[in-house]
Structure 1
Amino acid sequence: MHLNRYATSASLRQAVRSLARDHRLPADVRGRLVLSVTDLAEPEFRAGRPVALTASCENGPGDGGLLTVTFHASRIAGSVVPGDLPLPAPAISGHTATWHISTPAVDPPCTDDHRLAPPPVGSQVPPTVESCDSDEEMRAALARADSLTAEYRLLKHELAETNAGVVALYVQLEEQDERLRQAYGEVLREFEDALRPPPPVVAGLQLAVHYAPADPTAPTGGDLYDWFVLPDGTLHITVVDAVGHGVRSTRSALNVTHAVRTLALEGHPLQSILARTHDILMPFDPKLMATVLLVRLDPASGEMQIANGSHPPALLVRADGSAQYLQVRGRGIGFPFPGSDDVLSMPLAPGDLLLLYTDGLTESRKDVLEGEIRLVQAAQAHAHRTVAEIPSAIAADMHTIVLHADDTLAMAFRRSLPLP
């Protein structure tokens, strides 16, 4: 292997090009090799130190060969990274940089004993040959650049088409998702309507209801109500708050309202209905726990009866603006010793407002006493409204701050004032 030294960039480029021509390297590879060797040599030339180049060739896989070119210097600039060179060098260490380049078939073929080296210092290549080599390398570089530009444009076009397709698919999925949400919402609304009966028409009595689930996306819960007119013309109202959330609590509350309705229509006394409901349901749902409030209201006389099983008390706002909670002791379904200890009987005078609710209305700030005080204030503030507006207006006032989200139920009743 011959070690040939070079003191100028021109002689070094000449040697590398001669070597590349002898081994029929493609013009673009030749140009990259020339630039790489020259880049490494420039710091040495500026310092007045020569560099050396060696080359060897041996047979490679197939019909071609493997050209090994090694650049030697007093040192390699520390800032040089193998991958940063125009033709990356697999190995740069110490004072050398080595390239292993596949070559096409040569005649005669490379052998282990065949060693090729670049021309020694002083050999000359005609300027026309040097110029032709540079032009050829330039054309190869431009062709490669044009090829990359074309590939970039094609990739950009394909990416644009892909993005357009993704956007179209996204829009389609959004539309499908919206249709599913609408269908889901319609099913839930129908389900909710089936669970929550509309206000019955009762002469001389105005009534309205507001219900809001803790989770708007799951409008079923354990707060449920039922109201219907008994054969004697009195209005029966059931308010249930089953422990838990979701469909399971809805099922529990629904079982309670159905059992209470059956017992009420069979004519059982109001005070006995809660205990009987407990006895009926416990064998089928031993984990059921629910608070229950029962009200009977005669629209003609205004006579009102209230039984309570652990439920928040009804609130009465008189026509003169005074307010009081109607307390009745008792324990709910699934509680020890279930049933109402007594039945409260009192009149609902014309213009009086009766408010029934679940604890989601008063416990949104986690302070029951504070919630009950605020409820009185809200009821008195909105008592002048029509009954249809009152439940929602009170709920809005009570939920200005929600620290504890829960299902919320509010029901309002008022006896009509007599005609003048």
Structure 2
Amino acid sequence: VDRPERRVPRAPVLVIGSPFLWWMRVAELRALLAPVVAGTGPSVHPDIASARRFVRGLDAAVAVAARGGEPSSGPAPALVAAVRRPAFGFVGWVARLLLRGCRDHAAQMERAVAAAASERAQSVDYGLRIVAQEQVGLAYAGWDRLLTRVALPAWRMGRWPSRLDAGVVSALTELSRRDRLAEGFTSRLSERPACDLLEEPGAMDEATSLLAARLFHGGPSEPGPDWSPVDWDTYPEEVVDRKWRQEAARLHRVLDERDDAHDPAGAGPAPAPVSASEPPTLARVIDRLTADPAGPADGPDGLDGDAPRLAARLSVEVAREEAAATRAHGRDRAAGAEGPTAGPGGDPWIDGFAPVFPLQPPRTGRELLADHVTAMVCCAAVDTAGAAPGLDWLDGPALLVGGRRRADLARPVLSLVEDGDDGPLRAWLGEVGVRPEKPVRLV
């Protein structure tokens, strides 16, 4: 746990398996592991253990005898090998003879051990084992949603939730309440969780959370100024609100750029640029997306109007920022190349340049544009309508209006971005009380 970069083969098992300890109860975990635990009883019997050591010793003797007569190099080693070859041949012959003699007895012993383990496993309540297996699938579903909807937005802005496994419990409790897929299972939370079997569950959760960030997103192996942990209590303020305002600021920087012949989208003549001194308002974004440029009607990603140019510029801007962050991290790693965790050749696992198991493919220009417009709408709602940033355990960043989540913003935004139709969005803004002409606060 102290140095997860040294445990590459076991790291995915540790990260993917850890949420089950927090969601499953002690009795369920024991029932799930009953067949494995049941086999350990006969295995530790002194007679069985000594018999297995004897068989393994014979196998090793046969292997050593097969290689013992081979010369390494030079005339002297060849002479020694010629002298030793008959002795090793005799040892190998005796070992093979003994293996053939005890083969049937060893097979009968292993079958008896397996039968005893199966009989002991059947003593565990069958219904509890079925429930435990259901909990495994449920925990995996909640873990997947938590990573892709909740952790990923924080990772993209240089923060990593320090209690991912604890978040699984909240996500699955919310799933039970909302979809009633696990009706009655919330009462399980009063029972002892399996993570109590660990000596320091909090320290294990934090280490696993950092390791998960490295596996699925890529990043430094240790916290730093640009890679700091965040608690769930401060997630809405430090991640959600900051994410919205960063994306809104990026969108307005793109709007301030002057269109020229080097337009990334290459979509023909561009509309007249907006003055950089114009305040950042939602009305400015809506007017730009509903403008009718003098170029082709349809652009890449199925976007109309000026949206293709904005989407392409956002893609370039995001790629530029990610490349700059990677270069900055590479300089930090080069400065400390003498440390024990530095690796030669720019290994992605050691240097943190790339995730080992990416969660999602890169976002398209349309997805980036929709995300940035949504962020701008949320900033306007927070600044002019009294809304607040929030966290939904299954869907990630959420907009709270009157203390309740508004989950109906995606369709009006897509209507504006894809079709240039601002009618649904303006109706939504009027219902919530957002004033699009008012400037918003950016980072």
- TM-score, with normalisation over the residues of structure 2? 0.21
Higher relative contact order (CA 8 A, sep 6+): 2
Structure showing greater Rg: 1
Greater helix proportion: 2
Greater strand proportion: 1
- TM-score, with normalisation over the residues of structure 1? 0.22
